[in-house]
């Protein structure tokens, strides 16, 4: 164990030395007796990755080798004292430094005998002075890379060995702990178990016994150890032990792993019934047996008593059998009656199941105790968008069911009859419905049956019919009064223009004011007439992006006046049948409303794209959103939130959309509102006029 620890410590120190901050730089030894040559080498090899060490002689170089490790050595051949060849021999003779590459740099000769001598003493290259700096630098870089790769391999090998040794130590520790634990447990079990446990060899010689031998047989352990196990038994599987010792030992080997009934003999020669269980094992090629002896005298006595009781029980059983036959007849009659009731209940349940599943109303049953769903029908799943696995055993969310009259969640503790509510689907859509509840009992848990009639389409149709009725009324009014109002306005406007030159009777400022008011009145009437249902649109097949590009400068200028921005995202769209003038008016009305809804530096995004055989025009602002009360009244004539607005802009937009068989969808929130107008790519033939 100490050797393993020492190896781990040695490896740890080696890894720390190789990975220390100083070892990030590679050591390079330069040996030359001329300082100017060392300066030249240093100038060529200076690098933040190298640690350059200079030596003026072979002896000084050898001293440096004792202190540091080097990646490569640049060695001058001609030096006083130890020359380069002699120094190289000494370096290669040392085990720790013999693998360091040596490059000879000489100015004497490149004759073959000098080169051979250099290579013979361990040099790997031979460079003649003056040398090429770039060539020398590249060579040094390659040797440094080789050195670094070698060092990394050493570190990796050491790490792997360290991990392997750690694992081995852990396994040794675990094995030692398990051995100690097993030894302690065996000792505790042997001392506390009430059964006698002894071990003996294949000759029957007792090797060990546990303390229970004293209370069961009356022997001390030392009285039995070394003796024969035969002395503890009177009979074995019906045979007398003293009659055949050899057959007894043979039967022991054959009965290993089985429970054998026997008669054991105590020290005082008294007998008792015992159950014997023998296990066999082999240790160092010797067969050993472990014998467990249990005193079953009390069990045998109980068995005898049971035999006596059994004889008495036969008469009692016969009597009770007759009683059971009569009780069975009564039970059979009761079973037949229960089957008849169960059949009736099954038919009732089937009828309820068919009604429950096929009902067009949304139906659900949930527990009154914890409000968890017990059952829902197909209509509930279809309308809400949830699956059965998502609802089963989950608690009903009362916040998804809002009382329309109070705006608060419904109270499921009360009985409800046709209450108008709004409920939320899985996708977040809000739908309308009529809710009724009934308290019922199921096995016998109190439950609530919820029946919800979806009236979303009916409510939507009622709102649409109401809006159309208002539009029709406005159209009829506009058509009836427009002619009567315009004629006197034209006359007044003409006279006012003529009298403008007579400043004595009427000032120019008053006349201008009157003209502006008349112009405004005329504008209102013109917009009012646009709502008339008998207006005819002149539609031509053209591209929506072309209209937006033409309107872009006008919208940009309006945005610039209020320090706002407009962004166009025009994707490729097919041509559709539209009235250019009406679409221009629709775009301007919605875009200007969006600009008015934003504060400074807000951005208005106008986007077009194609989706499911339709061209989508999307106008999005970054205002504060539209409240539900205002959203419900949008498009109603004369409804406006502006101080100077007429309330006809969005009404005209809806009228234009209707004449183009387009749909306007509005989504709003705290981050702004988005108006989406969907134009069908392939409208019916009636749309072309």
The arithmetic mean of pLDDT across residues 440-447, rounded, is: 82
Q: Any bridge partners for residue 240, and if so which?
A: 235
29 in Cβ contact with 74 (< 8 Å): yes
Q: Which helix (H) or strand (E) holds 542?
A: strand 540-542
3-class state of residue 540 by DSSP: strand
Q: Tell me the C-alpha distance between 362 and 204, whole Å.
A: 85
The predicted structure's pLDDT at residue 327: 86
Close Cβ partners of 227 (under 8 Å, ≥ 6 residues apart): 205, 206
Asked whether the predicted pLDDT for residue 324 surpasses 70, the reply is yes
| CB neighbours of residue 584 within 10 Å | 17
How confident is the prediction for the chain on average, in pLDDT? Answer: 79
Give, in degrees to the nearest 5, the angle at Cα 300 between 297 and 302.
110
Q: Tell me the C-alpha distance between 30 and 56, whole Å.
A: 9
Under DSSP, the state recorded for 120 is: H
Q: Tell me the C-alpha distance between 542 and 258, whole Å.
A: 99
Tens of pLDDT, residue by residue over 122-162, are: 777 777 777 778 878 888 888 888 888 887 888 888 888 88
Asked whether the predicted pLDDT for residue 258 surpasses 70, the reply is yes
Backbone angles phi, psi at 617, to 5 degrees: -105, 120
The arithmetic mean of pLDDT across residues 399-405, rounded, is: 87
Label residue 16 by pLDDT band (50, 70, 90).
very low
Tokens of 447: 């439950």
- Peptide bond before residue 130 is cis, with ω within 30 degrees of 0: yes
Q: How far is CA 1 from the centre of its chain?
A: 46
The arithmetic mean of pLDDT across residues 239-266, rounded, is: 69
What is the spatial order of strands in the sheet that 286-295 belongs to?
A: 206-209, 196-201, 286-295, 271-283, 259-265, 233-236, 239-240
Tokens of 687: 């749309």
Percent share of the chain, pLDDT over 90: 7
289 in Cβ contact with 254 (< 8 Å): no
Label residue 688 by pLDDT band (50, 70, 90).
very low
DSSP codes, 487-530: HHHHHHHHHHHHHTT-TTTS-HHHHHHHHHHHHHHHHHHHHHHH
Asked whether the predicted pLDDT for residue 395 surpasses 90, the reply is no
| Strand ranges inside 69-193, DSSP E | 72-76, 102-106, 125-128
The predicted structure's pLDDT at residue 243: 45
The predicted structure's pLDDT at residue 619: 92
Label residue 208 by pLDDT band (50, 70, 90).
confident
Close Cβ partners of 409 (under 8 Å, ≥ 6 residues apart): 398, 399, 401, 402, 403
The arithmetic mean of pLDDT across residues 514-532, rounded, is: 62
The predicted structure's pLDDT at residue 607: 92
| CB neighbours of residue 486 within 10 Å | 15
Backbone angles phi, psi at 432, to 5 degrees: -105, 150
User: How many residues are recorded in the chain?
Assistant: 689
The predicted structure's pLDDT at residue 239: 64
Give pTM, 2 decimals. Answer: 0.33
Give, in degrees to the nearest 5, the angle at Cα 506 between 500 and 512.
55
DSSP codes, 419-459: EEEEEE-TTS-EEEEEEEEEEEEETTEEEEEEEEEE-HHHH
Close Cβ partners of 359 (under 8 Å, ≥ 6 residues apart): 377, 379
Q: Tell me the C-alpha distance between 438 and 414, whole Å.
A: 9
Handedness of CA 547, 548, 549, 551 (dihedral sign): positive
Percent share of the chain, pLDDT over 70: 78
Tokens of 467: 């809006």
616 in Cβ contact with 608 (< 8 Å): yes
For residues 667-680, one letter each, b for 16 or more C-beta atoms within 10 angstroms of the residue's C-beta and e for the rest, the string is: ebeeebbbbbbbbb
For residues 188-220, one letter each, b for 16 or more C-beta atoms within 10 angstroms of the residue's C-beta and e for the rest, the string is: eeeeeeeebbbbbeeebebeebbebbeebbebe
Asked whether the predicted pLDDT for residue 495 surpasses 60, the reply is no
The predicted structure's pLDDT at residue 187: 64
600 in Cβ contact with 572 (< 8 Å): no
Tokens of 589: 């009305």
369 in Cβ contact with 445 (< 8 Å): yes
For residues 387-396, one letter each, b for 16 or more C-beta atoms within 10 angstroms of the residue's C-beta and e for the rest, the string is: eeeebeeeeb
Q: Any bridge partners for residue 614, and if so which?
A: 680
| CB neighbours of residue 292 within 10 Å | 17
Asked whether the predicted pLDDT for residue 87 surpasses 60, the reply is yes
Label residue 678 by pLDDT band (50, 70, 90).
very high
The predicted structure's pLDDT at residue 183: 64
Asked whether the predicted pLDDT for residue 120 surpasses 90, the reply is no
531 in Cβ contact with 655 (< 8 Å): yes
Tokens of 403: 């009382």
Counting other chains too, the contacts that 289-292 makes at CB distance below 8 Å and 24 or more residues apart are 289/199, 289/200, 289/201, 289/202, 289/252, 289/253, 289/256, 290/197, 290/198, 290/199, 291/197, 291/198, 291/199, 291/200, 291/229, 292/195, 292/196, 292/197
């Amino acid at each position: 164990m100490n050797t393993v620890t020492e190896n781990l410590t040695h490896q740890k120190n080696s890894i720390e030395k190789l990975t220390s901050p100083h070892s990030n730089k590679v050591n390079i030894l330069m040996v030359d007796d001329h300082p100017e040559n060392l300066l030249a080498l240093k100038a060529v090899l200076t690098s933040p990755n190298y640690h350059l060490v200079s030596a003026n002689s072979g002896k000084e170089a050898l001293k440096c080798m004792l202190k540091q490790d080097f990646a490569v050595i640049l060695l001058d051949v001609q030096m006083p004292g130890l020359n380069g060849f002699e120094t190289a021999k000494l370096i290669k003779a040392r085990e720790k430094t013999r693998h360091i590459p040596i490059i000879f740099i000489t100015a004497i000769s490149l004759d073959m005998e000098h080169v051979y001598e250099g290579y013979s003493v361990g040099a790997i290259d031979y460079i003649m002075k003056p040398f090429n700096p770039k060539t020398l630098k590249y060579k040094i870089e390659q040797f440094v890379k080789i050195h670094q790769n070698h060092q990394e391999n050493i570190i990796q090998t050491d790490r792997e060995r360290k991990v392997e040794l750690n694992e081995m130590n852990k396994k040794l520790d675990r094995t030692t702990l398990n051995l100690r634990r097993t030894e302690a447990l065996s000792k505790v079990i042997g001392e506390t178990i009430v059964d006698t446990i002894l071990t003996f060899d294949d000759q029957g010689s007792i090797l060990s016994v546990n303390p229970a031998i004293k209370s069961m047989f009356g022997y001390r352990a030392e009285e039995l150890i070394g003796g024969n196990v035969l002395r503890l038994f009177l009979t074995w599987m019906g045979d007398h032990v003293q009659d055949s010792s050899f057959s007894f030992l043979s039967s022991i080997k054959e009965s290993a792993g089985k429970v054998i009934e026997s008669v054991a003999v105590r020290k005082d020669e008294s007998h008792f019934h015992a159950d014997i269980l023998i296990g066999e094992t082999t240790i160092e090629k010797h067969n050993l047996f472990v014998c467990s002896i249990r005193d079953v005298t009390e069990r045998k006595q109980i068995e005898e008593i049971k035999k006596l009781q059994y004889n008495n029980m036969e008469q009692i059983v016969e009597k009770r059998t007759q009683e059971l036959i009569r009780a069975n007849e009564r039970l059979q009659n009761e079973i037949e009656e229960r089957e008849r009731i169960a059949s009736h209940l099954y038919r009732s349940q089937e009828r309820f199941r068919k009604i429950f599943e096929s009902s067009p109303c949304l139906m659900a049953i949930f527990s009154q105790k914890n409000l968890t769903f017990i059952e829902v029908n197909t209509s509930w799943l279809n309308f809400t968008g949830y699956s059965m696995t998502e609802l089963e055993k989950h608690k009903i969310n009362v916040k998804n069911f809002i009382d329309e009259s109070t705006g608060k969640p419904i109270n499921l503790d009360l009985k409800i009859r046709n209450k108008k509510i709004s409920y939320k689907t899985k996708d977040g859509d809000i739908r309308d419905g009529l809710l009724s509840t009934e308290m019922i009992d199921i096995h016998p848990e109190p439950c609530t049956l919820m029946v919800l009639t979806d009236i979303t389409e009916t409510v939507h149709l009622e709102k649409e019919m109401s809006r159309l009725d208002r539009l029709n009324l406005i159209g009829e009014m506009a058509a009836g009064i427009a002619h009567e109002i315009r004629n006197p306005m034209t006359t007044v406007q003409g006279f006012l223009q003529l009298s403008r030159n007579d400043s004595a009777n009427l000032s120019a400022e008053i006349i201008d004011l009157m003209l502006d008011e008349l112009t405004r009145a005329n504008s209102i009437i013109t917009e009012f007439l646009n709502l008339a249902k008998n207006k005819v649109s002149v539609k031509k097949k053209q591209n929506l992006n072309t209209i937006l590009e033409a309107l872009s400068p006008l919208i940009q200028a309006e945005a610039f006046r209020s320090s706002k921005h407009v962004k166009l995202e025009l994707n490729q769209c097919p041509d559709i049948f539209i009235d250019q003038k009406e679409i221009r008016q629709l775009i301007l009305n919605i875009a200007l409303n969006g600009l008015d809804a934003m504060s400074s530096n807000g951005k208005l995004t106008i986007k077009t794209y194609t989706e499911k055989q339709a061209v989508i025009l999307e106008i999005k602002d970054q205002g504060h959103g539209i409240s539900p009360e205002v959203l419900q009244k949008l498009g109603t004539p004369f409804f406006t939130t502006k101080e100077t607005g007429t309330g006809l802009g969005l009404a005209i937009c809806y009228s234009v959309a209707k004449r183009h068989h387009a749909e306007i969808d509005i989504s709003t929130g705290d981050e702004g509102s988005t108006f989406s107008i969907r134009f069908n790519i392939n409208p019916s033939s009636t749309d072309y006029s």
